[in-house]
Structure 1
């Protein structure tokens, strides 16, 4: 039996449109990378063209001015510990809300969902007041705790939907075998949440690593600056060092791009697992 090919002119046109859109989204990366290797004068004269020579001196200057190892370490600590706390708190909270659907738990879940629509700008002034009163200002620990509060709503919402697909019979079998409630969750349920956990860690990392406003409000000491705060130092009231700022952007984005590429295999596995469970 002859199988007709599904490839036709319509598919070809859609592929061309997809390629053009992909190239369009890559244009900002081109400008950032190319202009980060130009002098300030060359950048102003010809920002769209290729550099006359590969000049990596901007990266060396940025490394020293930003004290990049220090700000990188600060960003890494904040991102890692925020992710750990958010995954632990959100997964356990969502599991409790799903497996014990009492009226109070349903209202609590609705409160989590409602909190997702509150804009950060409307609560940032009360946040600073509360943080200063309880001693969270100028502290990486304080910033991590703030991220717990702002990130837990979305994470609980995502875990809540995924846990519903986990068969409860598996948990009942573990309980019959004498496993404790915590043993059931950490040994049976949590490993099954890996696809959603990978997704949540990726979303949280992209948000926390690139966040500027919350660290700016909480961290005032120069030694506690994150990469976005250090990059902002190249933009003054009267001068804007675009050549150095673009080099700083490349250094700041590179770690999260490497992280995304390293997690790509797990993301594909997660999508496949989720579709099979569906």
Structure 2
């Protein structure tokens, strides 16, 4: 019993230490976002002496936050919805149609997760430039391609746990394959769908490299692109950058906390065959 109590105390202390380490970057970001540039360099770890809300106003103006936020929102929401629709349908087809071809296709998607974007970005961007797709539809199409592998993998694992008798019963009742998926299977996939949505939302919302190559045009920038407004060759406006960064992550944090209860359930379901 004593040994068990010691283990619980040790795990509790370890959890507290890890929690503090995990939260420390957020503390520094939020605390320093209320300071002047001079205060940040003098005491980056201290609480702000006065809350300079003007940092947020100026950051929002410099970022053209309303327009930039809308750009990021459109790209993120549309990309995530398309990834969910196509990935879930592809995973259902690959799971239910058992053949050598479907197995090979599935493993190709899995293997694609090992290929870094940097390895293909130059020929890919060159090709999309020739096709006239260095624009918003082009980047959404690219996000579909790069986000499908992991999404299909997660959906495939979950669908494999669902009995085929569900499909057979629906077909007997007069449903076609399309109706079976959308009215029977897809609603059951809600936990893993939320997991896929969260993972892709965080990735797309915070992505800098792909938008910098595809839509780096005035008026079409996403928030990560626009954030570089605060970092010049000779000066870095850390007080405004941290305020802008705080504004940028608030929507993702809200979305995460709303949907977090489905994450563990979804990942667990997708890992069981």
1:110 aligned partner: 107
Name the CA distance, whole Å, in 1 between partners of 2:41 and 2:247: 21
Residue 24 of structure 1 corresponds to 21
The corresponding residue for 2:55 is: 58
Following superposition, the deviation at residue 61 of structure 1 comes to 0.2
Alignment deviations for residues 51-79 of structure 1 (CA, whole Å, 9 cap, x no partner) = 11111111000111100011111111111
| Residue of structure 2 equivalent to 1:128 | 125
| Equivalent residue, structure 2, for 1:185 | 181
User: Who is 1:197 aligned against?
Assistant: 193
Counterpart-to-counterpart distance in 2, 1:12 and 1:208: 39
Q: Name the counterpart of 1:231.
A: 227
2:144 and 2:127 mapped to 1: Cα distance? 15
Rounded to whole Å, the distance in 2 between the matches of 1:160 and 1:5 is: 45
| CA shift for structure 1 position 264 | 2.1
Q: Residue 241 of structure 1 aligns with which residue? A: 237
Whether 1:174 aligns to 2:205 is no
1:77-156 to 2 correspondence within 5 Å? 77-137=74-134, 139-156=135-152
**Alpha carbons of structure 1 residues 264 and 6: separation in structure 2 relative to 1, 3 Å:** farther
Q: Secondary structure at the match of 1:224?
A: coil
1:159 aligns with 2:155: yes
TM-score (norm 1): 0.93
Match of 2:261 among 260, 265, 276: 265
- In 2, the alpha carbon distance for the partners of 1:7 and 1:202 equals 36
For the aligned residues, what is the CA RMSD?
A: 1.8
Asked if 1:71 is matched to 2:87, the reply is no
Gaps of 5+ in 2: none
Deviation at 1:42, TM superposition (A): 1.2
Summarize the Cα distance change of 1:182–1:65 in structure 2 as closer, same or farther, 3 Å threshold: same
Listed one character per residue, the Cα deviations across residues 5-58 of structure 1 (whole Å, up to 9, x for unaligned) are 996121111101111110111111111111110111111111111111111111
Tell me whether 1:215 sits opposite 2:211 in the alignment.
Answer: yes
Q: Deviations over 1:76-116 (max 9, x none)?
A: 11111011110111111111111111111111111111111
Contact 2:195–2:263 (CA under 8 A) maintained in structure 1: yes
**Residues 41-50 or 184-193, more deviating:** 41-50
TM-score, length of structure 2 as denominator length: 0.95
